Amino acid sequence: MDLQGTKEARTQEEGADGPLDAYGAGSGRSKEYHKSDGRDAHSHETPSNVHPLRRRQPPFSYPPGTRPPTAAPGSGSGSGSTSHATPRPREPSPSPEAISIPQALGLGSRDQRLLYKARRYPPVTKRTLSELDLPCIMSNINLRMDANFDRDLHFKPDLDGEKGKRKRKDAADYWDSMATEIAIYAYRAANPDDDVDEKSSRDSNSKRTFEPRLPAMFETLQEVIKTLVPERDHPSVTQNLEVSLLMQQVRKGVLDMVALATWMAALLKTHCAPMRDEWSDRMVEQITEGSQSQEPKEIVKGLQTLFAILEAMKLDVANHQIRTFRVLLIEDTVPFLQEYFEGKISRGSFQVEPARLWYLAARDRAHKEDEKSPTATQSDDTFKPLEALFRGISDRLLQFHPPEDFPETFLFDSDRLWQLRSTIQNLINLEIAWYIFESYVHTQKRYLSSRDETYSTFRSRIWSLMEDELCSEGRCATPDDDPDLRGSKRWLQNMRCIALEIARFACAACCLDVVVADEVISPIEAALEWHLSNESELFRYFQNAMREKVLAATLASARRFLPLSPLAICESQRTVPPPPTANGPAPTIPSSTASTPAVSCSSSSQSMSAQQYDIERIGMRLAHMGVLHWRVWASLLYLRDGAADANPNPPAFV
């Protein structure tokens, strides 16, 4: 299942030697709890991952009185067959529980295909919900890290993107096949004489049989409910959901689904939040209506609602546990990660040498920069190692082309770093657009009378255009969306609208006609496209200006955070004042990139209050990540013995 806000709620088991996959970044801030899809491992349950109770029946067995088919030596099809011919694979014989499909129902090809191919278990099972159990929450490293940065972290189902679309389709296929199966049970109960030839039909035409899903659904229902109610209610659950008895009643056509639904609703109302009561009543209504009208699809709607209630109850419990143990999760972040990574490194399953060399190169570049700028503010020697870390990671956030990746030691922060890079690049892109606007105004021999107010309105309009672009796509971007440049793809796609907005501002500033002429838009659009697409001198100017501002804000925040505990660092950021302007901070428009212009028209010489707020927030976020990262890795890797002699020739400054 997927937590919203992330990328994927992947539990990192202590001592596991598998790849360290982040459970995901998200927004909202919630985390998508994924139905363990292996990353979709729970989507298709296999003999290796099904509940032990489900292993009682073999995958298939031969009907009584028959023997497994054996290939006679040298047998083949046709006179030309030889003993070396590959035998044609035989389809497995149906199990004793297999049900034949009555021809009288006249099922369509899709219904028959779903009976054969749809998943056997409901979308919500005990296993898919297991990552919401407290032990899994406590051992989920990504969740522990996200708890440091998000006070409102919570789980919710992940139904976005391609994976979510696939899950929705699998679930729809399952419930459609369940409706058809219920119709078959009803037909066979009403026509018992058609059951005489079931065995021979199963033997002679296995393609007309399918493995039933209803027993597994009842068994799953019992398992899941037991995880949600106190142990004192387990006997009642077992009694009312006894699979063999329920299936016997189904085959006889005497199962009272309304009474069963009413009992389940009463049980769930006793233990779930009051806000779920209406949902429970709806489930009873749907099953009642379906039972009275003999409409299987309506009964299935009630079953869907039932499993949705169970999933919501589990999410409620998990989110309550996150809130309850949030302080413990945060305060234990550093020792937990140190112990985890020490084990990984000692077993050789986590390679850190490239990250160590990256840090040494960043430290050497920082030393050379200090030598070239003796007048710059010098940090004390104890702070310089951490400052080198911030300089190195800032370079990757600000470079024109997206980095291939961040150092492996930032594994559980990579999503946050990509988001910071996106925000920084958007700020640079905004400066490009503002520079082009001011340049055009100056070419018309005009000057802005109220520059700060104009900038604030301009900024708000450009962000609105970019937000509209993202909303129209209905999804959040990821680093992989824009592999070409520094994320300028979205700006380039929306360039015509941005150019038109700049032209409108220019015409207003120059007192031109309200109708924007093409001779105004064309040069603005051409300049915008050039500066967004090329790593020019203009880009490097604004890159350096942004680097100085971000580094200054980051280092100032880091000095404040160093003596604080992880919880105190987290709580200190709640007191940050709101943005000084109505338009607020720049939205995180993932993967937007562009380049920045050379200094002209003093577009960067005056500090804008809204931009200052954004940079302060970026600096606090980066400092928070960096200080926690340093506490985990400084003694473990960056400052270990012999570090000073490694990598004597670091790469040139990027």
**What integer pLDDT is reported at residue 104 of this predicted model?**
86
Residue 650 domain flag = no
Is 402 a domain residue?
Answer: yes
Dihedral sign for Cα 562, 565, 567, 571, please: negative
- pLDDT at res. 122: 95
Contact 439, 600 (CB under 8 A): yes
Residues 273 and 397 in one domain: no
Task: List 209's β-bridge partners, or say none.
Answer: 100
Shared-domain flag, residues 467 and 586 = yes
Query: pLDDT by residue (tens digit) across 563-591?
Result: 999 999 999 887 655 555 444 444 443 33
CB-count exposure of residue 208 (10 Å: 0-12, 13-18, 19+): middle
- Are 256 and 404 in a shared domain? no
Task: Supply 252's token pair.
Answer: 């006889």
Q: What burial class does residue 61 get, using C-beta atoms within 10 Å of its C-beta: 0-12 exposed, 13-18 middle, 19+ buried?
A: middle
* pTM tops 0.85, yes or no: no
Considering the domain architecture, whether residues 577 and 626 belong to the same structural domain is answered as yes
Are residues 122 and 263 located together in one domain of the fold? yes
281 occurs within a structural domain? yes
Please tell me whether residues 326 and 357 are part of one structural domain: no
The answer to whether residues 220 and 257 belong to one domain is yes
| DSSP code for 72 | P
Specify if 70 maps to a domain.
no
3-state secondary structure of 346: helix
Tell me: do 288 and 360 sit in the same domain.
no
How many structural domains comprise the chain? 2
- Chosen domain end from 330, 363, 396: 330
pLDDT reported for residue 191: 86
Residues 310 and 378 in one domain: no
Residues 6+ apart with CB under 8 A from 221: 122, 241, 306, 307, 310
What are the DSSP E strand ranges found in 183-240?
Answer: 209-210
Which residues contact residue 200 at a Cβ distance below 8 angstroms, ignoring those fewer than 6 apart? none
Please identify every stretch of the chain with a pLDDT value under 50, giving residue numbers as ranges. Answer: 1-29, 36-85, 89, 202-204, 206, 470-485, 581-607, 642-654
Secondary structure, 3-state, 86-101: CCCCCCCCCCCCCEEC
Residues whose CB is less than 8 angstroms from the CB of residue 438 and which lie 6 or more positions away in sequence, other chains included: 448, 600, 601, 603
Q: Is 155 within a domain?
A: yes
| 365 and 398 part of one domain | yes
**Token pair of 378 as six digits:** 């010098």
Q: In terms of domains, do 321 and 468 share one?
A: no
Widest Cα–Cα separation across the chain: 100
What range does the domain containing 440 cover? Answer: 353-645
Q: Are residues 277 and 411 in the same domain?
A: no
Cα–Cα distance, 35 to 217 (Å, whole number): 17
* Domain termination residue (choose one: 274, 296, 330): 330
Residue 588 belongs to some domain of the structure: yes
- Residue 420 in any domain: the answer is yes
Neighbouring C-beta atoms of residue 74, cutoff 10 Å: 10
- Express each pLDDT in 41-70 by its tens digit: 333 333 333 333 233 333 333 334 434 444
CA 622 to chain centre: 21
Under 8 Å between Cβ of 283 and 309: yes
Question: Has residue 526 been placed in a domain?
Answer: yes
Cα distance between residue 496 and residue 494, in whole Å: 6
